[in-house]
Amino acid sequence: MSRGRRVAYGLAAALVVAQLVPVSRTNPPVDAEIVVEPDVSALLRRACYDCHSHETVWPWYAWVAPVSWLVAHDVNHAREELDFSRFESYGPKKQRKKLGEVGEEVDEGHMPLWYYVPLHPTARLDDEERRRLIDWADAEQARRGGKAAAP
């Protein structure tokens, strides 16, 4: 048997064995979801909720290792950073901080992540949608006692 064939069989075997490694793909109960206007809710659900909520829609590739490990890691990390399903359980200071981060991340084009959008084109935000989320985050931060809203 040639070396190339042995390597191919070895890789195939490793991929099969990798499927046996358990991956936690959870959607805990929504217990303190952020309350927002319907248009903002629609944008957040479309562009943010798959990673930043307990309402993740796990795509088919989230069930195939090793990609499943990366997807689960990204969702868990995103929920640790900001979880819209638990937002109202955050203290006031943390809420204001997270709202400020939402505005910054969207304004700087860091969210949604560049590698997420090609696989989820509906998450792409146009300039008007991006501006709506930024304005909402700024106004909501101000309403909750944070920085003053832009005029």
pLDDT digits (tens, 9 = 90+) for 127-146: 999 999 999 999 999 999 87
∠ at Cα 37 (96, 124), nearest 5°?
85
| pLDDT grade for 12, boundaries at 50, 70 and 90 | confident
pLDDT, residue 148, reads 56
Rounded to whole angstroms, the Cα distance separating 99 from 103 reads 6
What is the rounded average pLDDT for all residues in the chain?
91
pLDDT, residue 15, reads 73
Work out whether the CA dihedral 117, 102, 52, 128 comes out positive or negative: negative
Instruction: Give the other-Cβ count within 10 Å of 44's Cβ.
Output: 18
Residue in the structure block whose two tokens are 């709506």: 132
Work out whether the CA dihedral 121, 39, 99, 127 comes out positive or negative: positive
pLDDT at residue 149 above 60? no
pLDDT, residue 11, reads 81
Nearest alpha-carbon partner for 63 in 23, 26, 28: 23
Residue in the structure block whose two tokens are 């998450």: 123
Nearest alpha-carbon partner for 72 in 26, 118, 110: 26
pLDDT per residue as tens digits for the range 23-52: 888 899 998 999 999 999 999 999 999 999
Rounded to whole angstroms, the Cα distance separating 49 from 70 reads 17
Q: What is the pTM of this model?
A: 0.85
Rounded to whole angstroms, the Cα distance separating 53 from 107 reads 21
Both tokens of residue 33?
Answer: 């979801």
pLDDT, residue 92, reads 95
